[in-house]
């Protein structure tokens, strides 16, 4: 692992998470605890031995911990409290990176619906929305619920049958809707089915977050 040997918070952070794959491993563990094979499946292109080395590095740094499962040989990996502290920085990086996604996925890009959760949290405004409301999202076979809390939007896995609005469509199109790249009702958004009887989703999408620009 590379080290910068600089007495600087950014340099120290990069010493821990700056190598290739580290932040993507953190992304997956922010979504849910994972077994080794689940991480391998979620990270196309990473070799098994490299994933093991990255996990060991993150564990040595106190970012990740191994959790034995009773009666099973497999272990789960989860973020420590220190690792959970990366949620905010990762959210801001997702917001910043969204500016480079306006044209949609490239032909060789992997698109996974489970990545929508962090993206939606990052792209929606943190303030100015009605608290206690919920938006259900169904994308390519996976269900999420966007809960509007006093601390900002929080995305949880699973369907909420009492959601105030619902969005159903392909992953890339749903991401485009929440990022503002697709306007509701536009021809490009026809692949998305929206139920918004109380106008909640319209209000959410009309409340802009601070946009990062490349």
Q: Averaged over 161-165, what is the pLDDT?
A: 96
pLDDT at 211: 43
Q: How far apart are the first and last CA of the chain?
A: 29
Query: What is the C-alpha to C-alpha distance for residues 185 and 189, in angstroms, rounded to an integer?
Result: 6
Question: CATH for 9-85?
Answer: 1.10.10.10
CA dihedral for 1, 4, 86, 114, sign (positive or negative): negative
Please state the domain extents for the chain. Answer: 9-85, 89-206
* 15-42: pLDDT as tens digits: 999 999 999 999 999 999 999 999 999 9
Token pair 């999202």: residue: 137
Tokens 């929305």, residue located = 129
Q: Is 204 helix (H, G, I), strand (E, B) or coil?
A: helix
CATH architecture of the region 89-206: 2-Layer Sandwich (3.30)
Q: What is the pTM of this model?
A: 0.84
> Phi and psi (nearest 5°) for 24?
-70, -35
**What integer best gives the mean pLDDT of the chain?**
91
Confidence (pLDDT) at 1: 63
> Phi, psi at residue 89, to the nearest 5°?
-60, -40
Q: What is the mean pLDDT of residues 84-91?
A: 94
Beta-strand relationship, 165-169 and 134-139: parallel
Question: 136-145, 184-193, 194-203 — which is least confidently predicted?
Answer: 184-193
Residue 210's pLDDT is 53
pLDDT (tens digit per residue) in 165-174: 999 999 989 9
């Amino acid at each position: 692992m590379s080290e910068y040997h600089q007495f600087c918070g950014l340099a120290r952070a990069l010493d821990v998470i700056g190598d290739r794959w580290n932040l993507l491993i953190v992304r997956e563990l922010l979504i849910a605890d994972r077994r080794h094979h689940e991480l391998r499946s979620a990270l196309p292109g990473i070799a098994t031995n490299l994933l093991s080395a990255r996990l060991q590095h993150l564990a040595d740094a106190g970012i990740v911990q191994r959790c034995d499962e009773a009666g099973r040989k497999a272990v789960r990996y989860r973020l420590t409290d220190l690792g959970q502290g990366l949620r905010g920085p990762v959210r801001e990086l997702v917001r910043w990176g969204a500016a480079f996604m306006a044209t949609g996925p490239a032909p060789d890009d992997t698109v996974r619906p489970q990545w929508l959760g962090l993206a939606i949290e990052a792209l929606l405004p943190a303030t100015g929305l009605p608290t206690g409301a919920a938006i259900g999202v169904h994308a390519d076979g996976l269900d999420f619920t966007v809960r509007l809390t006093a601390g900002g939007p929080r995305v949880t896995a699973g369907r909420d049958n009492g959601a105030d609005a619902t969005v159903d469509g392909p992953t890339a199109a749903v991401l485009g809707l929440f990022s503002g790249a697709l306007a509701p009702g536009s021809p490009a958004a026809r692949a998305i089915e929206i139920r918004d009887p109380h106008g909640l989703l319209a209000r959410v999408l009309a409340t802009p977050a601070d946009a990062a620009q490349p």
